[in-house]
Structure formats: C-alpha cells, structure tokens
Structure 1
Amino acid sequence: MADFVSRGTVMTSNDIKKQGATVVGAFVRSQKLILELIAFGFALYLLQQSNVTAQTVVAMLLFCVFAFTLVTGKCVPHFRHRGKALLFLIVAGFFSLQGAVLFEEQREARWADLRESDPAAYLEELRDVDADRWFAELRKLDPDTHAVEAENRAVQAQADRLAECSDEKTALAYVMIQEDVRRSLHAPSTAEFPGRFGIGTRNMGNCIYQVVGHFDAQNGFGAMIRGTFTGTTEYFPEHGSWRTLTLDVQ
C-alpha cells in the first residue's frame, strides 16, 4: 500500500478515502438541509396563500418548537441539532412576522370596505378589537351613540376616581401636607410631627381631605415651640399626586 506524506504527516490511501467520504457526506448533508429549508418555506408560503391566519398560527407554533430545541437541544430527533434548529427558527420567525403583517393589511382592507357598506357591523367588530379606535370612529359614524358613550365613560371615570379616594388615604394626606407646613416655618429641618393626625382630620369627599395636627419646631430664637396647623389637600389618583389647597399654621 502506498504511503503519502503531507506536512510531515504520513497518510495511507484508506485515510484519504475516508476524508473524501467525509467531505462528500458533509456536502450531501448540506444540500439536503438546503432542500429541507426550501420545502419548509414553500409549504408555509402555500399555506399563507390559502389562509393567512392559519399560516401565522402554524409559523408561530413552529417558531416556539424550534426555539425550545435551540435552548434545550431536546425535541423531534430530526431537529435536535442546534444549528439546524436555528435555521428553521429563522424561517419560521420570518413567516410569523410576514403573516402578522399580511393579516393586519387584509383586516384593514376588509374594515375599509365594511365601513362604507355596513357602518354598524364595522363598529361592532371594531369594538371588540380596539375600544379606543372604536370610540373615535363612533364620533364620526354615530354621533348620538358617541355622546351617550362619552357620558357613560365620564361617569365611570369619576366613580373610579372617587373609589381611589377612600378614607384609608386620610393618613397619607396627613403625611403629604407636612412638607408645606415645614416651608412656612423658620427652621423647617427641626420640625417634628407626631405619628398620628389630630381630631378633625377627615375625608371631605371628592378626593379632598381636611388635615389637623401639631408639630414641634424651633422658632426664630432657636427655642422649641409647639405649633398647630389646619389645612385641606386634594389627591389626584390619575398621577398619584397631592396638592395643598389651604393651610393655616399657628
């Protein structure tokens, strides 16, 4: 058997044949993978042409399967190789995004036709998908119903706002007004407030609280004195903020 020398390494003819077989096998596997990817993409494309919704759902499910395989290395034996899973993941992801875009475009086109031919059906369908857009469209297509809906929303918003302004916020109102009390003192940093508000502190309704309390702080001569304060403060649930309306510090 003839021997071959390459870069100082002795290779037999059998070794060369094995290497050749390995190269050929790798080439065949790569071509097979390319054909599988083409077939996979073409199948999703055909499904997309017949039913965009079904294609999007299928592509998203396959995307999840390949993502799971890529992370864990466990799934259908044919796709356990992470490199192969990554390639199929990319194809599935592409068709998932494309399907979502096409679905949105088709729905918008159908809604445009329905808006002209049957506004009531258009509004009914839109309401279940996008309530804010439905409300805006309602103003143009059905002003009377829009006025009623706007009033109902305003009533509900006020009810929700008042529900946030419960008696439990009274203690917080006492804490929040203290900063404005400090600003009125000669030595704000010396002010000390008891842990409990005074008698008369209450929820006045409509998110307004009356606060009564006392404090100890230094006066202009450095002596500690006791003072009292009475004020009203308003709570804004929309931002979680407070605003002092009136304040009398003595």
Structure 2
Amino acid sequence: MIGNDLKTGETSAPGAFVSPLIVILELYAFGFALRILQQSDLNAQTIVAMLLFCVFAFTLITGKGFPHFRQRGKAMLFLFVAGYFSLQGANLSGEQREARLAELRKSDPAAYLVELRNVDEDRWFVELRQLDPEAHAKEAASRATQSHADRLAACTDEKIGLAYVMIQEDVRRSLRAPSTAEFPGRFDAGTRNMGNCVYKVIGQYDAQNGFGAMIRGTFTGTTEYSPERGSWRTLMLDVQG
C-alpha cells in the first residue's frame, strides 16, 4: 500500500511541474506565431487575433469549445494573449494608416483627399478647405442645400397636431391656475404649416381664473420645430381669457 502511494506521488509531482510548463510553451508559441503573422500581414494578424479572442471568450464563459482549451484557466491565458495582439494590431494599423496619409498629403494631395474621404468624412471636409478651397466651397453649398431640403422634408403638415400639443405648455405658464387647464382634443381653424418648420396654432382652453371659476379662453401662437434637435420653440403667443 505504502509502495503504491509512493509510486503515485512520484508520478504526480513531475506531472504537476510539467503541465504548467507545457502551457507556458504553448502560450509562447501562440504569441510567436501571431508576431510572425503580424510582420507579414498586419491586417490578417489583427483579424485572426480578434477571432481567436472571441473563441477563447466563448470557452471561458461556457466551458465549451476546442477540447484542448476547455479548461477555463487555460482559455483565460490565451484570451489575454489574443486580446493583447488584437489591440496592438489595431493600434499599429492606425499608425500605419496615419503615416501613409501624412506621406500622401505631401506627395499627392488629390489622392490623399480621396483616400481620407473613405476613412473620415468630417476630417476630409476640414482638409478640403485648406487643400482645395474651391471644391470646399462647392461641397459646403451642396451640404447646405441638402440640409435645408432635409429640414423641410421633416416639417410636414402631419406635425400640425404635434405643434398644437407642444405649445400648450407655454399656454399653461401664462395662466393663473396652470394645473387646471384643459384643452380640446382638436385645434381651431386657422392652425397651419407656415413653412420653414414654423407652425401657426389657434386654440381654446378651459381653466380657473383668480376667483376659482372655470372660464374659456383662446390663444394664438407660432411655434418652430427643430429637426436637428427634435425640439420645439414657441416664437409668439397671445393668450386671451
């Protein structure tokens, strides 16, 4: 019995030492392979590292995956390595792109603007102002025209009812007892879309006066809708009653 226990102890002790060593060697080989791939094709290395990161994350969360990496501890170690190379690849890719753009800006501004537009539209527009003022002026005019068209397209007659609802808060603020104000479900005749996102609203309300009696009053106002912010602003309001 004692001999068997000693024999078991002799085999388990080396195994406990060799197993972590094998994992370290596997990690080194994994990192080395990604480094070699990075030197030959940075984009491919980044994609591979990100895919492996997802695989190891799945294994770490579920305990499933490739048989060799089903141990969550091992999967976590490889997850760290894959995550490191994913971030490094992304950073290096960005640095390489910026270096290429800087060189292209000096040697071929037209090609630089074409490539930059595919990468960053806002940055391209800023650079266009310096490198090609005439094209920038045309682009600015085109954007302004499109922005105005989009604004008008968002301000249709369908928003008349919403304009009637949104102006009611300002009507309440002008009353002695705002909390008692009630509005009919329909606006009065004359309410309309005046164009350029401005709406004229005519309506009635019922609210208590200073003596507590319910009275009926009328109001007329104009309110403007801002499609860019999705908000309303009262321009003029006349409350009678």
TM-score clears 0.5: yes
Matched, 1:48 2:45: no
Q: Deviations over 1:30-53 (max 9, x none)?
A: 111111100110111111112211
Identity %: 74
Number of equivalent positions? 240
Structure 2 CA distance for aligned equivalents of residues 84 and 192 of structure 1? 68
* Residue from 123, 128, 133 that aligns with 1:138: 128
* Residue from 86, 89, 94 that aligns with 1:99: 89
Unaligned runs of 5+ in 1: 1-10
Larger Rg: 1
Q: Which residue of 2 aligns with 1:33?
A: 23
Q: CA deviation at 1:137?
A: 0.7
Q: Which residue of 2 aligns with 1:125?
A: 115
Q: Which residue of 2 aligns with 1:216?
A: 206
Root-mean-square deviation (CA, aligned residues, Å) is: 1.2
Structure 2 CA distance for aligned equivalents of residues 68 and 223 of structure 1? 69
* Letter paired with 1:94: Y
* Letter paired with 1:31: L
Q: Deviations over 1:81-125 (max 9, x none)?
A: 211111111100000000111111111111111000011111111
Name the SS of the counterpart of 2:200 in structure 1.
strand
* Residue from 137, 153, 157 that aligns with 1:163: 153
Q: Which residue of 2 aligns with 1:191?
A: 181
Structure 2 CA distance for aligned equivalents of residues 58 and 189 of structure 1? 63
Q: Which residue of 2 aligns with 1:21?
A: 11
* Letter paired with 2:137: A
Matched, 1:235 2:236: no
Moved more, 105-114 or 173-182: 173-182
Q: CA deviation at 1:13?
A: 2.5
Q: CA deviation at 1:231?
A: 0.9
TM-score by length of 1: 0.92
Structure 2 CA distance for aligned equivalents of residues 187 and 174 of structure 1? 20
Structure 2 CA distance for aligned equivalents of residues 80 and 19 of structure 1? 26
* Letter paired with 2:66: V
Q: Deviations over 1:218-237 (max 9, x none)?
A: 22222211111111111112
Q: Which residue of 1 aligns with 2:196?
A: 206
Moved more, 167-176 or 135-144: 167-176
Q: Deviations over 1:11-44 (max 9, x none)?
A: 7131122123112112111111111100110111
* Letter paired with 2:123: R
TM-score by length of 2: 0.96
Structure 1 CA distance for aligned equivalents of residues 10 and 159 of structure 2? 81
Q: Which residue of 2 aligns with 1:3?
A: none
Q: CA deviation at 1:138?
A: 0.6
Name the SS of the counterpart of 1:242 in structure 2.
strand
